[in-house]
Structure 1
Amino acid sequence: MNMTETKLSPAEEDSYFPHDPEVTDFTFIVDNRKFHVAKVVLIDASPVFRRMFKGDFKEKNITELELPGKDGTIFEFFLRCIYPRECTLTEESVFQVLPLADEYDVKCIQQKCEEWLLTELELKYAKVSPHYINVKNSIEYLTKWMYYAEKYRLDKLYATALDKLLPFRLRSYIDSENYKMMPETMKREILEKRLCLLEGSVQSINDYNYQIPIAWFQ
Structure 2
Amino acid sequence: MSAENDLVVSSDPEITRMKSSFAEQDMTLIVGGERLFINKSELMAKSPVFEKMFTADFKEKNANYIELPDKNLHEFLLFLRCTLDGFQDIITDNNVHLIIPFAHEYQVETMLSKADMFLANKYTEKQYGGCTSAYVIKCIIEAEKYTLEKSLEILTDYASRKVYHIFSTKKGYDQLSDTILYRIAMKRWKNNINPESGVNYTFRSYPQQVL
TM-score scaled by structure 2?
0.75
Report how far residue 179 of structure 1 moved: 2.5
Change (3 A) 1:27 1:164: same
Aligned residue in 1 for 2:31: 30
For residue 136 of structure 2, what is the aligned residue in structure 1?
142
Percent sequence identity over aligned pairs: 29
For 2:106, the aligned partner's letter is: Y
Amino acid at match of 1:116: F
Name whichever of 29-38 and 181-190 sits farther off. 181-190
Counterpart residue type for residue 95 of structure 2: S
With over 3 angstroms needed to count, the CA separation of the structure-2 counterparts of 1:61 and 1:188, relative to structure 1, is same
Match of 1:158 in 2: 152
Q: How many residues align?
A: 181
Query: What residue identity is the alignment partner of 2:45?
Result: D
Task: Specify the code of the residue in structure 2 equivalent to 1:161.
Answer: L
From 170, 174, 184, the equivalent of 1:180 is: 174
Distance in structure 1 (CA, Å) of the matches to 2:24 and 2:56: 22
Instruction: Say whether the 8 Å CA contact 2:27–2:65 is kept in structure 1.
Output: yes
Alpha-carbon distance in 2 for matches of 1:156, 1:124: 15
- Give the superposed CA RMSD: 2.6
AA of the residue aligned to 1:91: D
- Looking at structure 2, the residues matched to 64 and 81 of structure 1 have their Cα atoms a distance apart, in angstroms, of 22
Q: How far apart, CA to CA, are the structure 2 residues paired with 1:106 and 1:53?
A: 16
Residue 181 of structure 1, CA deviation: 1.9
Between the aligned partners of 2:62 and 2:124, the Cα distance in structure 1 is 47
Distance 1:211 1:198 in 2: 13
* CA shift digits 1:36-74 (9 cap, x unpaired): 111111111111111111111111101101111110101
SS at match of 2:191: helix
Q: CA deviation at 1:92?
A: 4.3
Q: Does the 8 Å CA contact 2:161/2:193 hold for their aligned counterparts?
A: no
Q: Secondary structure at the match of 1:198?
A: coil
Question: Which residue in the other structure is 1:67 paired with?
Answer: 68
Q: Distance in 2 between matches of 1:194 and 1:50?
A: 43
Give the structure-1-normalised TM-score. Answer: 0.73
